[in-house]
Amino acid sequence: MTTTMLIKLDKDLKDNAQDVAKRFGIPLSTLIRSYLKEITATGKIELTATETMTPQMEKIIAQAETEIKASETVGPFRGSKQAIDYLKKQKSS
Q: CA angle 76-54-52, nearest 5°?
A: 95
Q: Rounded mean pLDDT of 4-20?
A: 93
d(CA 86, CA 75): 9
Local structure of residue 72 (DSSP, 8 states): -
What integer pLDDT is reported at residue 17 of this predicted model? 92
Q: Rounded mean pLDDT of 14-20?
A: 92
d(CA 73, CA 89): 16
CA distances from 11 to 20, 26, 49 (A): 14, 19, 22
Q: Are 24 and 13 spatial neighbours (Cβ–Cβ below 8 Å)? A: no
d(CA 18, CA 25): 10
Q: What is the pLDDT of residues 35-77, one digit of tens each?
A: 999 999 999 998 776 667 788 889 999 999 999 999 998 888 9
What integer pLDDT is reported at residue 14 of this predicted model? 94
Q: Rounded mean pLDDT of 11-28?
A: 92
